[in-house]
């Protein structure tokens, strides 16, 4: 078998079949990934300039190794499977690992939500199937595209099962709000792009398209007691799970090494050599790990938590992502496809076919560089200054407090009632409650908008008096804070231009690891007692689940800004707010 070696700074040499190189890696769609950055960390760690191309090769490397160990460790359980079936599964899993990011949009995850902008009728009744709704809602176009693609590739029986499992996963979504969250947008697009481009090659390899798609999407078969489905579910979990998979393993290790962040070491060899499948007492098969992987599993969670807490949640990284998202939103609005309302974030723009904008630009194999070019074509007004801030670092706003911990220390200086009021104004999702929010950009313009909104509500004849009074009261509370902030900045001869960012508080994956009950096997114990949940093996540390939102404020800092002075301002204004709007 002819192979080619590719030197990777993380895993060493990655060996790929020549056929994989010629038919996948050398294709323009796969080469596009060289120009899609892996992370949004380079604003904080300039060395983290690695891309989706090398990450995809790394996931293939780990996946290929994991498959061999899984087959070896679980062979006694599946001795009825012939070698041809194992070869088919190996090819399917290899290709899924290699192509799992082929549909990724530019700028890491900042661009993928733009795949969800356009909606249409729910052709496959996904929501109706999942939630039992009788109405015909709309759904994101990309979900219909996925199901249309799968319907073309699968026979009627397999597609029916795929649709049922897809809908079942949607029904398990927490707080479903009209958006299907069965898989990340780039995962769905990866399946669509991969099947449309590489189907002839996959057919030659006898790739199981159903399993291929499920592995990328993370959609398991519900028939978990069937042996053949048990193996397939284990492979799906190996590529896409919420705790440990080869995708996550590669990016944790790669992001750590390329950024220079001092993280916990992960013994990948030890972890992958322990991968196996078990049959539980209820007859269902599931992925498991041998007991010698316990220390490494612990390190994976510690490493993942550290990356999420100290890099992903860093206010500089958060703000950089915000600037990119604002610029991409302006691009999507400005560059339309002729008379349609469809922007450039769509399937054709990611491939060779490409799309043509209303002003005649040809966009194909869309990548970071294309978006940077398009970004520079926009006026500063179209992005509210975000392009200028993104391109010229000295003009960029800076966070007032620089970590969740520092924010908590400030909040702890306020009485509980004042903390709650502060979070309600700046951190609550008010728009879900009453149709209004203080907003993200806080400045003089926002003050004028709220003043106009108050006057508009006072004159509204259609709203009942109680709703009107409540709505106006909320706006007055927001106006109180905005005017106090304006006064603070004016007195210090500083620009009143703030960005108010609601962020997720840190939640350790240890809690999820414990609740999901990752299975650990102790081979030397009796067969009916050799399997245990990881949470029972050693004491799990349960981290506090914080209910209040984390809030970051960004401003154009100057020598006239003093942090402690601003903290005192917050405390004083919070007290004034409580006096002004005291309940009862």
- What pLDDT, on the 0 to 100 scale, is given for residue 79? 77
pLDDT bucket at 506, cuts 50 / 70 / 90: confident
Mean pLDDT, rounded, of the chain: 88
Q: Evaluate if residue 102 carries a pLDDT over 80.
A: yes
Q: Evaluate if residue 394 carries a pLDDT over 70.
A: yes
Percent of the chain with pLDDT strictly greater than 70:
89
Average pLDDT of the residues in 124-136? 73
State both tokens at 188: 């769905």
pLDDT bucket at 122, cuts 50 / 70 / 90: confident
State both tokens at 255: 């992001």
Q: Evaluate if residue 545 carries a pLDDT over 80.
A: no
The tens digit of pLDDT for each residue in 231-252 reads 999 999 999 988 899 999 999 9
The tens digit of pLDDT for each residue in 196-208 reads 999 999 999 999 9
Average pLDDT of the residues in 446-467? 89
Query: For 262-270, which contacts have Cβ atoms below 8 Å and span 24 or more sequence positions?
Result: 263/303, 263/306, 263/307, 264/299, 264/302, 264/303, 264/306, 265/299, 266/296, 266/299, 266/300, 266/303, 267/295, 267/296, 267/299, 268/62, 268/296, 270/295, 270/296
Q: Evaluate if residue 574 carries a pLDDT over 90.
A: yes
CA 454 to chain centre: 37
Task: Identify which has the larger pLDDT, 491 or 505.
Answer: 491
The tens digit of pLDDT for each residue in 49-64 reads 999 999 999 999 999 9
Q: Evaluate if residue 340 carries a pLDDT over 80.
A: no
- What pLDDT, on the 0 to 100 scale, is given for residue 557? 87
pLDDT bucket at 172, cuts 50 / 70 / 90: low
- What pLDDT, on the 0 to 100 scale, is given for residue 65? 97
- What pLDDT, on the 0 to 100 scale, is given for residue 429? 56
- What pLDDT, on the 0 to 100 scale, is given for residue 433? 40
The answer to whether the CB of 55 falls within 8 A of the CB of 101 is yes
Q: Evaluate if residue 136 carries a pLDDT over 80.
A: no
Stated pTM of the model: 0.92
- What pLDDT, on the 0 to 100 scale, is given for residue 290? 92
pLDDT bucket at 3, cuts 50 / 70 / 90: very high
Task: Identify which has the larger pLDDT, 157 or 118.
Answer: 157
Q: Evaluate if residue 169 carries a pLDDT over 60.
A: yes
- What pLDDT, on the 0 to 100 scale, is given for residue 94? 98
Distance between CA atoms of residues 124 and 144, nearest Å: 7
Distance between CA atoms of residues 204 and 186, nearest Å: 26
Average pLDDT of the residues in 550-575? 94
Task: Using CB atoms within 10 Å of the CB of residue 578, give its burial: 0 to 12 exposed, 13 to 18 middle, 19+ buried.
Answer: middle
- What pLDDT, on the 0 to 100 scale, is given for residue 546? 56
Distance between CA atoms of residues 237 and 190, nearest Å: 17
Q: Evaluate if residue 175 carries a pLDDT over 60.
A: no
- What pLDDT, on the 0 to 100 scale, is given for residue 584? 43
Distance between CA atoms of residues 348 and 416, nearest Å: 52
- What pLDDT, on the 0 to 100 scale, is given for residue 520? 81
Average pLDDT of the residues in 251-277? 95
The tens digit of pLDDT for each residue in 398-407 reads 999 999 999 9
Exposure string for 440-456, b = 16+ CB within 10 A, e = fewer: eebbeebbeebeebbee
Distance between CA atoms of residues 390 and 411, nearest Å: 30
Distance between CA atoms of residues 208 and 241, nearest Å: 20
- What pLDDT, on the 0 to 100 scale, is given for residue 67? 97
The tens digit of pLDDT for each residue in 412-435 reads 999 999 999 999 899 865 444 445
């Amino acid at each position: 078998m002819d192979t080619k070696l590719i030197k990777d700074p993380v895993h060493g040499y990655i060996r790929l079949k020549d056929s994989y190189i010629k038919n996948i890696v050398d294709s323009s769609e796969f080469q596009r990934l060289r120009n899609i950055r892996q992370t949004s960390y380079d604003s904080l760690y300039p060395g983290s300039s690695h891309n989706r191309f090398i990450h995809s090769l790394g996931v293939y490397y780990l996946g290929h190794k994991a498959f061999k160990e899984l087959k070896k460790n679980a062979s006694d359980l599946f001795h009825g499977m012939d070698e041809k079936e194992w070869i088919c599964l190996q090819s399917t899993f290899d290709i899924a690992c290699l192509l799992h990011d082929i549909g990724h949009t530019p700028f890491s995850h900042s661009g993928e939500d733009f795949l969800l902008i356009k909606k249409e009728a729910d052709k496959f009744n996904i929501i109706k199937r999942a939630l039992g709704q009788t109405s015909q809602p709309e759904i994101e176009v990309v979900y219909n595209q996925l199901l249309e693609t799968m319907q073309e590739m699968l026979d009627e029986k397999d597609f029916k099962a795929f649709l049922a499992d897809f809908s079942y996963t949607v029904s398990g979504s927490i707080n479903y709000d009209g958006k299907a969250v069965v898989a990340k947008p780039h995962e769905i697009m990866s399946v669509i792009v991969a099947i449309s481009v590489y189907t002839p090659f996959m057919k030659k390899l006898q790739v199981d398209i159903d399993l291929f798609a499920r592995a990328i999407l993370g959609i398991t078969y519900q028939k978990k007691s069937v042996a053949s489905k048990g193996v397939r579910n284990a492979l799906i979990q190996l590529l896409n799970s919420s705790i440990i998979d080869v995708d996550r393993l590669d990016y944790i290790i790669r992001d750590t090494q390329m950024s220079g962040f001092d993280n916990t070491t992960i013994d990948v060899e030890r972890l992958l050599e322990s991968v196996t499948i078990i049959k539980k007492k209820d007859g269902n098969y599931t992925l498991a790990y041998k007991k010698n992987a316990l220390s490494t599993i612990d390190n994976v969670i510690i490493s993942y938590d550290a990356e999420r807490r100290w890099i992903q949640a860093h206010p500089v990284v958060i703000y950089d992502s915000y600037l990119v998202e604002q610029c991409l939103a302006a691009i999507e609005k400005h560059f339309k496809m002729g008379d349609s309302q469809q922007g450039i974030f769509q399937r054709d723009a990611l491939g060779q076919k490409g799309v043509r904008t209303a002003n005649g630009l040809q966009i194909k194999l869309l990548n970071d560089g294309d978006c940077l070019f398009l970004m520079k074509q926009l006026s500063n007004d179209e992005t509210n200054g975000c392009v200028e801030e993104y391109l010229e670092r000295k003009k960029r706003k800076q966070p007032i407090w620089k970590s969740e911990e520092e924010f908590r220390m400030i909040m702890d200086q306020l009485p509980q009632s004042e903390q709650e009021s502060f979070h309600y104004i700046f951190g609550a999702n008010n728009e879900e409650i009453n149709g209004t929010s203080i907003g993200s950009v806080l400045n003089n313009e926002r003050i004028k908008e709220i003043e106009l909104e108050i006057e508009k509500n006072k004159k509204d004849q259609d709203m009942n008096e109680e709703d009107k009074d409540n709505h106006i009261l909320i706006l007055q509370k927001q106006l109180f804070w905005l005017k106090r902030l304006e006064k603070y900045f004016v007195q210090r001869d500083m620009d009143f231009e703030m960005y108010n960012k609601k962020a997720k508080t840190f939640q350790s994956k240890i809690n999820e690891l414990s609740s999901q009950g990752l299975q650990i096997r102790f081979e030397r114990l009796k067969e009916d007692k050799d399997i245990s949940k990881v949470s029972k093996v050693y004491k799990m540390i349960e981290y506090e689940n914080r209910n209040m939102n984390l809030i970051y404020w960004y401003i154009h800092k100057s020598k006239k800004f003093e942090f402690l002075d601003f903290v005192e301002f917050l405390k004083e204004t919070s007290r004034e707010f409580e006096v002004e709007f005291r309940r009862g």
